[in-house]
Amino acid sequence: MFENFFKKENEKLVNFSWKRVWLIITIFVVMVGVFFVASFVYVDSYKEKVLPGVYLGGIHIGGMDKENLTTYIQSMNTKLLNKGILFNFSFEGEEKKFTVYPSVLAKEETRDLIDLDIQKEVDSLIYYRKNDNFLSDIFSAVLVRIQKPTLNLETVKIDKNELFIQIQNFLKDYIKEPKNATIKITTLDPLKYELVSSTSGYSFDYEMVAGKILKSWSNLETPNIDIVSHAKDAEIKEEDVKLMTDKLSKIFDGGPLNISYIDKFTTKKYNWVITTKMISDWLEVQKNNEGNLSFGLNFASTTEFFLKEIEPNVNIKAQDAKFQIGANGKVNEFVGSRPGATVDTEATLEKVKEAFDSRILHLDAVVKNVDLVIKETKPNIKTGEVNDLGISEIIGVGQSRFKGSPTNRIKNIKHAIYDKLNGLLIKPNEDFSLVNALRPFTVADGYLPELVIKGDEIKPEVAGGLCQVGTTMFRAAMNSGLKITARRNHSLVVSYYNDLSNGNPGTDATIYDPNPDFRFLNDTGNYILVTTEMNTQTGDLFIYLWGTNDGRKASYSPPVVSKWIPTGPVKNIETTNLAPGKKECQESHVGAQTSFTYTRVLADGKKENVVFDSYYRPLPKICLVGVEPKVEATIPSTEEIPNTTEEITAEVPVLEENQLPFDLNDPVLN
């Protein structure tokens, strides 16, 4: 009896437990569903708005859309401009104040000395922590609400020089800077100089003003700057400088100072030169922390050089990866991850000082090159994390320069690299053909005609200039360690294709439909992605090959010219295809024999050397000169002369057109 009782009770307990389990599961599923629906609605509602919890300066801007945010930033910027920059300083125990309004009136137009890109600021704030990824955006929205980040404006720019002029105008009646004795170089060859005497006065420290203004403005706060001034004697006297003049010649014997940098990510090479003229202009006598005097470069001048010449080319924010393949099989959305880079100006200037000291101290090894010091920041999402094709990094970069190209040539290059190559995927073991990738070479497809000489005529030909792409791709393939399966050099030496390392011809590749073609084998075992970059201002063309480096290494030596071949005298060729007296000329091209070695070391340690020999024929200057057609008249016998006034007709044959003594139907002229 008890056994049946317990059995029934157990059955009830089991039935009751399963009901509760299913009830809990149902409630959980409903809650998860509600959560995801609510999250989707929440994220979508802030798609074009600033996420809640975001502050700009000390003001909460969460929930603002583009229009409201634009209006807010514009009004705050206008308010700051109208209110001006407040300055405070003490002079002989009396507190002084003045306001500088950051604008100047030039030619009846007002120019603001403090500027910002409002559109960029709005976009940056609207899309802060948004990645177009549902789960990621949910996480970001929650995180932002918790963290309540305070952001600042990132595009504020200050006209430092003009602002300092205005500050000096207010202070000129109060402040007189002490000036150290120094040297002024008057000529470099021969080296001559003047001794500049020291003067005393009131010191005014305004070098940090711009930074303080920038910080306040970026937070939409009215700048209120305290300026420190005090009476001060010059630290360096004339007698100190006189003891150092014997070291001047050693400084300039070292020549210019190079600052170099290789971007680890793109392998781009940069070089900046502090010339001897710049050294002479920036040279001054300086005192170090130990009180010792030496010659050095003016801090303001060298810092300005870094800000204007170096940082714009180097500084870049860390970049997260994006990858999407379109219906055409090309990658239509791609952003490769890359680390952020910022110039470490302080550390680099210290290296510059050490290099400068090596000249003054007359060390055995005078430093003539300084490596730029940078700080790196890592991206959050790496390239290899957004695709499964083995595309994770840049394996090689090709570069060439097209500066000076005519308009149609530039447009043809641009069409080829952006419309044809950018985003192209090259399969493993594919023998890539550049001609096939760039076809069809027609006006309908987007290529334009460019003038070339053919025979004795100057005619337009469609798709001129694509050898620039061939040359750049050749260099990219070699820097990637790929097997070159087809390459032919141009017939003539053309400056567009000279190697960037030494300016010599030899590392070019010509293409023409159907031949010659440039080809390489993708023997990496993974897909290769092609991306391109074209800078029409500097004339630089880059082709990047992305993939996975299997451990191979590659390089090619600078091309060596074993023989230059002279062009010979100018050739004038008569033609009836030009107006009489009109002349059109093709410039001369010196000939050359060159060679270079392409070396690649494969992952298994096997080393391959390929020598590329190139012959460029000389081409004299050739001018086509227009002439009158020659007339050959047949004089009839007296019996054949008409008795009346009938018109005498004569056959006027045109001579066969002259042909140039070589074939100018060469892709190099395109």
Radius of gyration in angstroms for the set of CA atoms belonging to the chain, rounded to a whole number: 36
- Residue 287 has a CB neighbour count (10 Å cut-off) of 14
Least confidently predicted of 130-134, 482-486, 551-555: 130-134
369 - beta bridge partners?
A: 258
Encode burial over 538-574: b for 16+ CB neighbours within 10 A, e otherwise: eebbbbbbbbbbeebebebbebebeeebeeeeebeeb
Please name which of 654, 630, 658 lies closest in space to residue 572, comparing C-alpha atoms.
658
pLDDT for res 103: 80
Supply the pTM of this predicted model.
0.55
Q: What is the pLDDT of residues 509-546, one digit of tens each?
A: 999 899 999 999 999 999 999 999 999 999 999 999 99
Higher pLDDT, 520 or 102: 520
- Average confidence (pLDDT) over 478-494: 94
Q: What is the pLDDT of residues 265-296, one digit of tens each?
A: 888 889 999 999 998 899 888 887 777 888 88
- Average confidence (pLDDT) over 14-40: 66
- Average confidence (pLDDT) over 319-347: 86
Burial classification of residue 613, based on how many CB atoms lie within 10 Å of its CB (0-12 exposed, 13-18 middle, 19 or more buried): exposed
- Average confidence (pLDDT) over 391-410: 93
Identity of residue 478: M
Work out the pLDDT band at 644, boundaries 50, 70, 90.
very low
pLDDT for res 362: 62
> What is the spatial distance between Cα 453 and Cα 622, in angstroms, rounded to a whole number?
10
- Mean pLDDT of all residues belonging to the chain: 83
Residue 16 has pLDDT above 50, yes or no: yes
Percent of the chain past pLDDT 90, that is, above it, reads 35
> What is the spatial distance between Cα 352 and Cα 371, in angstroms, rounded to a whole number?
9
- Average confidence (pLDDT) over 126-132: 82
Work out the pLDDT band at 665, boundaries 50, 70, 90.
very low
Domains and CATH numbers, the chain: 255-276+292-387 (3.10.20), 388-626+662-669 (no CATH)
What is residue 617's three-state secondary structure?
coil
- Average confidence (pLDDT) over 353-382: 83
pLDDT for res 663: 38
- Which range, 15-19, 106-110, 221-225, 665-669, is most confident? 221-225
> What is the spatial distance between Cα 202 and Cα 176, in angstroms, rounded to a whole number?
5
pLDDT for res 630: 77
Residue 373 has pLDDT above 70, yes or no: yes
Least confidently predicted of 191-200, 551-560, 606-615: 191-200
Work out the pLDDT band at 645, boundaries 50, 70, 90.
very low
Work out the pLDDT band at 30, boundaries 50, 70, 90.
low
pLDDT for res 203: 62
For residue 599, CA distances in Å to 266, 349, 479, 488 come to 20, 37, 10, 18
Residue 647 has pLDDT above 50, yes or no: no
Identity of residue 31: M
Any residues with CB less than 8 A from the CB of 574 and at least 6 apart, and which? 625, 626, 627, 658
Q: What is the pLDDT of residues 158-180, one digit of tens each?
A: 888 888 888 888 888 876 767 88
Q: What is the pLDDT of residues 584-636, one digit of tens each?
A: 888 888 999 999 999 999 999 999 999 999 999 998 888 889 999 876 655 55
Work out the pLDDT band at 12, boundaries 50, 70, 90.
low
Q: What is the pLDDT of residues 142-159, one digit of tens each?
A: 888 888 888 888 899 988
Work out the pLDDT band at 32, boundaries 50, 70, 90.
low
What is residue 468's three-state secondary structure?
helix
